[in-house]
Structure 1
């Protein structure tokens, strides 16, 4: 049961930048603050139409409403004038979205200062622990920079306690068949030897992966939520794909899925033997489920994203975390190739084909590593709990 003696009113501010990534993190965080920690939560969102994809009951015409016990307010350009008492005890700027000036003015007039937190993007770079919980004086107030992370001295990752049980639940054949049937897919696809999910941005390495999966020695079921990778999939198949349909190429069955709720996507990740994920949210979920995953990082100007990729590989494939050097080399090569990094020695065609097959052969060892990595991340505490503990001491 939540400790209601430490209940505070939280205001979370979110600008939707990359379709669903930003709001996906904020929506998960808001629900965990309420359900696990008993906090009051108001979530301010500028793009309600994108949010509605994750919360179908949302009414985009309303300036204020309640969904799943959380107050949802539209963050419009014409921001409402609030009194000091209408601001949050804890105010979270998600991903440096910058609070409205009128809201800051109301915060300045509070009798007791709010705990103002800038929740940063996730990075494995070695400078992060040194900046976690750093303070910045702003408008006569103090703002704390809170960094999620993979190592001690950071805020950890977003994860509900019950998430770790989901892979065991989805390992049951009946659960897999029920999941596939809910999307109109043949339950027999659950019997394929290898289940893989694919959620990615546009990727020139896609065709090489599909070629390799098509000729793998076992049956493969590739589940693809509709999105930015769909055009590349259509090009490879030579036809326009539709959600709820399955396409057969050799031993490879490709099922296209519609946009899914967050709980449904968690189930997909939990049932698959390998998850190709993108951005931040699905990247975190796959790791916290203890599953092998390949990350397609969001591309940034001047290839700044590749530095973040290398920083993550430095931790994920470090000798202290992964003593199997053969697996470590396969993983680093696959991550770089999938992100088209210059450091990748792989070319297209037969060389990449051989590498994908080599990686699939390493799946049992990769699963062992993914489980150990999961336990290491869990030891940091989850992001929501770490936020609550920090804020409770300051409000």
Structure 2
């Protein structure tokens, strides 16, 4: 794509700790690095941002991080010139003064609502359509997605090649894991666990502890830690803690920055993830995964879950499809995991092969950043 001398503003309201800022921070960096656009990222919670990017100064109203201008989005909004492209992430409401600034531009900006990721059928029909209008400024729907006719998924240039090289290098994996204080047992399956609170966890841990195959479970600091503590009968687990119960080793990891989290996912045999950003990164890892979807009112999140499972499990044998679908549904309902995990383990080779196939199929689509740039080029 041609290099563009355009200015982009991305607005992010941090709703669920890390998912919103995870997506927008990744997108902002990629737009700067691969498309040479100037990006201002407006964030209303720099403390959450700091967990993903420890270099952030949480008190600075303006700073530069990895080529991105990061601005603190506070209630005390200062007059600001509107950019050429304005992205409201996940339907966040822009400051009224900024909307006026958009309307005052001689050439109105391209205004897009970057929506949540969904595999539901209706997304294809709505992607790219005009939404509301503010004075002379038209807003458009922009949907990430898994099908042709959507905006695709965030994927940096060369990501899968870097992943392939890492996964083919036992030394690189060993050095990375040792850097986090992880001493992987030779025959243990390595599993990462990043999830919301879940009443089904205890049964899953019981099942892994009783398994004939040893499991090393890596738990980055986060909301699921309280359930891990209850299962261990402990309190105040911190990063670095290691506890062994029969065939299961549980190790608590520090919350890692985004690039390190990729390496963690690539190192593991199975990844349990949550939200949106981690969900996409686990798919690029090419390994079997378990998604804890963000709960929504009236259980509409379960429709999203089923839509993705319908798409993801295409090509699997019926027993393997039932196994992985059952596991995901039980996990998201907080139900007993024992039978579902045993069934999943039975179909492991097929599920491993399928995860890689799915990853490569998704990589055939344009990535989200490139799709956004192309949408802008078409618009002008």
Please state which band the TM-score falls in when normalised by the shorter chain: over 0.9
Superposed CA offset, 1:192-228 (max 9, x none): 4311111111001101111111122222111111111
- Displacement after TM superposition at 1:392 (Å): 2.2
Q: Helix, strand or coil: the match of 1:161?
A: coil
**Contact 1:12–1:26 at 8 Å: present in 2 too?**
yes
Give the aligned partner of residue 73 of structure 1.
Answer: 71
- Partners of 1:136 and 1:204 lie apart in 2 by 39
**Contact 1:200–1:276 at 8 Å: present in 2 too?**
yes
Q: Helix, strand or coil: the match of 1:302?
A: helix
**Contact 2:166–2:173 at 8 Å: present in 1 too?**
no
Single out whichever of 165-174 and 99-108 deviates more from structure 2: 165-174
Give the aligned partner of residue 278 of structure 2.
Answer: 282
Superposed CA offset, 1:91-130 (max 9, x none): 1000000111111111111112211111000111111111
- Displacement after TM superposition at 1:246 (Å): 1.6
Pick from 89, 94, 98 the counterpart of residue 89 of structure 2: 94
Give the aligned partner of residue 326 of structure 1.
Answer: 319
- Displacement after TM superposition at 1:381 (Å): 1.1
- Partners of 2:285 and 2:6 lie apart in 1 by 29
**Contact 2:87–2:114 at 8 Å: present in 1 too?**
yes
Give the aligned partner of residue 177 of structure 2.
Answer: 180
Give the aligned partner of residue 209 of structure 2.
Answer: 214
**Contact 2:324–2:340 at 8 Å: present in 1 too?**
no
User: 1:31 and 2:29 equivalent?
Assistant: yes
**Contact 1:216–1:357 at 8 Å: present in 2 too?**
no
Pick from 145, 153, 171 the counterpart of residue 149 of structure 2: 153
- Displacement after TM superposition at 1:190 (Å): 5.3
Superposed CA offset, 1:361-388 (max 9, x none): 2221111111111122112211011001
Pick from 48, 51, 71 the counterpart of residue 50 of structure 1: 48
**Contact 1:185–1:245 at 8 Å: present in 2 too?**
no
Give the aligned partner of residue 10 of structure 2.
Answer: 12
**Contact 1:277–1:293 at 8 Å: present in 2 too?**
yes
Specify every segment of 5 or more residues in structure 1 that has no aligned partner in the other structure, as ranges.
342-346
Give the aligned partner of residue 250 of structure 1.
Answer: 246
Give the aligned partner of residue 358 of structure 1.
Answer: 343
Please give the residue correspondences for 1:219-234 in structure 2 after superposition, counting only pairs within 5 Å. 219-234=214-229
- Partners of 1:249 and 1:171 lie apart in 2 by 31
Pick from 305, 311, 322 the counterpart of residue 309 of structure 1: 305
Single out whichever of 177-186 and 66-75 deviates more from structure 2: 177-186
**Contact 1:95–1:121 at 8 Å: present in 2 too?**
yes
Single out whichever of 219-228 and 169-178 deviates more from structure 2: 169-178
- Partners of 1:88 and 1:200 lie apart in 2 by 36
**Contact 2:129–2:140 at 8 Å: present in 1 too?**
yes
User: 1:368 and 2:364 equivalent?
Assistant: no
Give the aligned partner of residue 61 of structure 2.
Answer: 63
- Partners of 1:61 and 1:271 lie apart in 2 by 35
Specify every segment of 5 or more residues in structure 2 that has no aligned partner in the other structure, as ranges.
none
What is the number of equivalent residue pairs in this alignment?
A: 377
Root-mean-square deviation over aligned CA pairs: 1.5
- Partners of 1:277 and 1:245 lie apart in 2 by 21
